[in-house]
Amino acid sequence: MSESGARPVAAPTQALPPLPVIARERLASARVLVVGDVMLDRYWFGDVNRISPEAPVPVVHVQRQEDRLGGAANVARNAAALGACTGLLCVVGHDEPGERIVELLKDSGVVPHLERDPELPTTIKLRVLSRQQQLLRMDFEKMPAHEALLAGLARFDTLLASHDIVLLSDYAKGGLTHVTQMIAKARAAGKAVLVDPKGDDWERYRGATVITPNRAELREVVGRWKSEEDLVARVTELRTSLELEALLLTRSEEGMTLFTAHGELNAPAVAREVYDVSGAGDTVIATLAAMLGARVPLVDAVALANRAAGIVVGKLGTATVDYDELFAPAH
């Protein structure tokens, strides 16, 4: 989430309140529907003791493999880890990685609502690591078929009534081709909609309740800001034009800032050693969705999402934060 050359900015004058403690029972009552692009995060771990005679590259003796849920599946896993009743609507292939995703979803407590596309190779991000250092990543991906996406949209209609919060996790893999219709349907049904955006066409997210870009994603849409005042002006114009109730900007070492019609609130980053930022954005929006589903006020939900992000960056890969970790007493 960190970006080189980022210019320090002055902190907003308002700060988020102290962290509240939310009862497990309230979180268990939250009903979150995650929709979006899923993938399998596959890790190969091994030792490097020599360079290949064929090319100047390290030879990795792979000794262990680990699979984790990625993309929207990781978002759903994060919400379920906090205790929220979580469903996942997505498209996967009829292949080994697709079956592995089904197994992992079952283990994580997420309720799967899967459309199967026989022509789709399930998206895989394969990472090769040695001594906890990533040496290589290989991506295997393809756009889902139109028929599978239409079937998913039809199932979305049937799932709306049984969920309180809709979370749209966009990884630009094609799973959210019908995102505009989904937002309109959810808002018409009185459901809050959270969006983790991708790309520079945010018109497709019009009417969402909360959108959660990082700095790079926001710059792609509004350009580079020169000051905190310039940032506020650009975000206000964007939020108003797209009819968004709130925008939560994650700012890496600067924490995160919530922009609403009532002003800006800042949550400073949790001071700790950062081990791995992959998946931190998933944790933020999943925590936000779980808390809003538990009827926690938005400002308190943001404070808890900020703490969850500070915990998850201390873990390797796409990890989660559970209830006990999030609400553990501060030391």
Residue located via tokens 């030792």:
47
> Annotated catalytic sites, by residue?
282
Mean pLDDT of 253-281: 80
Statement: residue 278 has pLDDT above 70: no
Q: Look at 274 and 156; give whichever has higher pLDDT.
A: 156
Statement: residue 38 has pLDDT above 60: yes
Please write the tens of the pLDDT for every residue from 43-94. Answer: 999 999 999 999 999 999 999 999 999 999 999 999 999 999 999 999 999 9
Label residue 252 by pLDDT band (50, 70, 90). Answer: confident
Looking at the DSSP assignment, which residues form a beta bridge with residue 258?
A: 248, 265
- If one counts every other C-beta atom within 10 angstroms of the C-beta of residue 14, the result is 13
Please write the tens of the pLDDT for every residue from 210-223. Answer: 999 999 999 999 99
Q: Which two structure tokens, joined as six digits, stand for 1?
A: 């989430």
Please write the tens of the pLDDT for every residue from 93-119. Answer: 999 999 999 999 999 999 999 999 999
Please write the tens of the pLDDT for every residue from 288-317. Answer: 999 999 999 999 999 999 999 888 887 766
Q: Look at 276 and 31; give whichever has higher pLDDT.
A: 31
For the chain, percent of residues with pLDDT exceeding 70 = 91
Residue 269 to residue 256: CA distance in whole angstroms:
7
Q: Look at 79 and 272; give whichever has higher pLDDT.
A: 79
Label residue 21 by pLDDT band (50, 70, 90). Answer: confident
Collapsed DSSP state (helix, strand, coil) of residue 35: strand
Residue 193 to residue 190: CA distance in whole angstroms:
9
Looking at the DSSP assignment, which residues form a beta bridge with residue 70?
A: 39
For the chain, percent of residues with pLDDT exceeding 90 = 78
Contact 129, 45 (CB under 8 A): yes
pTM of the model: 0.88
Statement: residue 2 has pLDDT above 50: no
Chain mean position to CA 149: 21
Please write the tens of the pLDDT for every residue from 221-251. Answer: 999 999 989 999 999 999 999 999 999 999 8
Collapsed DSSP state (helix, strand, coil) of residue 157: helix
Q: What local confidence, expressed as pLDDT, does residue 1 receive? A: 38
* DSSP H/E element including 145: none
Class (C level, CATH) for 24-39+69-121+143-326: alpha beta
Residue located via tokens 């998206």:
123
- If one counts every other C-beta atom within 10 angstroms of the C-beta of residue 222, the result is 17
Chain mean position to CA 100: 20
Label residue 269 by pLDDT band (50, 70, 90). Answer: confident
